[in-house]
C-alpha cells in the first residue's frame, strides 16, 4: 500500500513539473555567424609540397609537346641544315623573323621580374583584429560586444525577435542594427545552423525565464562593421583557434563550436 502511494505521488510530481516546464515562456533570439572566407589557398606542408612536385613531374613527362616546343624543334633542325649548307636562307627574311627561342628568352626575362604577392599584410603585423585584410589563409568570424545582463560580452551578433518576423528576418534586422548598412553579407538559407539557450538570473526574470538563440550562417561580401558616420560597437574578426579566448561562457562556446567548419 505504501509503495503504491509513493508511485502515485511520484507520477503526480513528474506531471506537475512537466506542466510547469510547458508553461515557461522563453524569448526567441536570432544570432548570425558572419564569416570572412579564406582569400588565398592554404600553404602546403612539406609532404604536400613533395606530392605536388611529383604530380607536376608526372604530368610533364606524360604531356604532349606544345606548338611552341614543336616550332622551336623545327627551327633548330632548320638552323642545323643551314649551318651544313644544305638549305639556302633569305637573310632579309631571317633578320625580321621572331623565332621561338626569341620568345623563350623574352618570357624568361619577364618571369625574372615577377614577384609573388605576400601572404601576410600590414594588418597582420599590426595585429589589427578589426580588419578583414588579415589571416588571408583562414576563415575569420565576427564577434561584437553586446550587453547581456549587467556585463559586456564578445559574442556573435544577436537580437530579440519581434512580432510578425520570421527568424531569418530577425537575423537580417539584427545584423543591420548591430553592424550597420556598410556590412554586406550573403545568408546561406532560411534554416538556422545552430542553437543555444540560457536562463536569465532569478532577479532579472519578468515574463520570460530565459532566451533561446537560433543561429544563421552568412558570408561576408563587402564592407565592415559600422561606417564613417557611425563607428558601431566594438568588434573583432577572429580565426577559429582564437575564439576560445573571447567566448568566456563555456556552454555558449560549446554551442558555437558545433556548427563551425
Find out whether 189 and 66 touch, Cβ atoms under 8 Å.
Answer: no
- Predicted confidence band at 94 (pLDDT cuts at 50, 70, 90)? low
Of 2-16, 115-129, 232-246, minimum mean pLDDT range: 2-16
Average pLDDT over residues 147-161: 90
Q: CB within 8 A of 258, min separation 6: which ones?
A: 194
| Residue 241, pLDDT above cutoff 60 | yes
Spell out the domains of the chain, with CATH numbers in brackets. Answer: 27-41+121-258 (3.90.79.10), 48-113 (no CATH)
Q: Which of 37, 225, 259, 53 lies closest to 146 in space, CA to CA?
A: 225
pLDDT at 155: 95
Average pLDDT over residues 88-106: 73
pLDDT at 244: 87
Of 6-20, 80-94, 131-145, 190-204, minimum mean pLDDT range: 6-20
| Residue 230, pLDDT above cutoff 80 | no
Find out whether 32 and 171 touch, Cβ atoms under 8 Å.
Answer: yes
Q: Which of 33, 32, 34, 28 lies closest to 197 in space, CA to CA?
A: 28
Q: What is the pLDDT of residues 164-207, one digit of tens each?
A: 999 999 999 999 999 999 999 999 999 999 999 999 888 878 88
pLDDT at 78: 84
pLDDT at 18: 44
Of 4-13, 66-75, 92-101, minimum mean pLDDT range: 4-13
Mean model confidence pLDDT for the chain:
86
Q: What is the pLDDT of residues 27-41, one digit of tens each?
A: 999 999 999 999 999
pLDDT at 201: 86
Burial of 221 (0-12, 13-18, 19+ CB in 10 A): exposed
Amino acid at each position: 500500500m505504501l509503495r503504491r502511494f509513493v508511485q502515485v505521488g511520484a507520477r503526480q510530481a513528474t506531471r506537475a513539473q512537466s506542466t510547469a516546464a510547458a508553461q515557461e515562456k522563453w524569448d526567441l533570439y536570432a544570432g548570425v555567424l558572419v564569416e570572412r572566407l579564406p582569400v588565398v589557398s592554404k600553404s602546403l606542408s612539406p609532404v604536400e609540397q613533395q606530392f605536388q612536385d611529383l604530380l607536376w613531374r608526372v604530368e610533364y613527362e606524360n604531356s604532349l609537346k606544345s606548338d611552341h616546343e614543336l616550332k622551336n624543334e623545327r627551327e633548330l633542325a632548320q638552323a642545323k641544315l643551314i649551318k651544313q649548307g644544305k638549305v639556302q636562307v633569305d637573310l632579309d627574311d631571317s633578320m625580321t623573323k621572331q623565332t621561338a627561342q626569341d620568345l623563350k628568352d623574352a618570357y624568361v626575362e619577364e618571369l625574372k621580374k615577377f614577384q609573388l604577392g605576400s601572404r601576410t599584410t600590414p594588418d597582420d603585423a599590426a595585429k589589427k583584429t578589426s580588419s578583414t585584410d588579415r589571416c588571408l589563409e583562414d576563415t575569420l568570424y565576427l564577434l561584437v560586444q553586446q550587453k547581456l545582463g549587467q556585463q559586456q560580452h564578445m559574442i556573435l551578433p544577436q537580437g530579440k525577435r519581434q512580432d510578425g518576423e520570421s527568424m531569418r528576418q530577425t537575423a537580417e534586422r539584427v545584423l543591420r542594427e548591430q553592424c550597420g548598412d556598410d556590412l554586406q553579407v550573403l545568408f546561406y538559407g532560411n534554416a538556422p545552423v545552430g542553437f543555444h539557450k540560457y536562463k536569465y538570473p532569478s532577479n532579472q526574470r519578468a515574463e520570460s525565464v530565459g532566451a533561446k538563440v537560433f543561429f544563421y550562417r552568412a558570408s561576408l561580401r563587402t564592407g565592415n562593421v559600422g561606417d564613417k558616420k557611425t563607428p558601431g560597437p566594438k568588434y573583432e574578426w577572429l580565426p577559429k583557434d582564437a575564439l576560445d579566448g573571447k567566448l568566456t561562457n563555456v556552454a555558449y562556446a560549446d554551442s558555437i563550436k558545433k556548427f563551425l567548419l
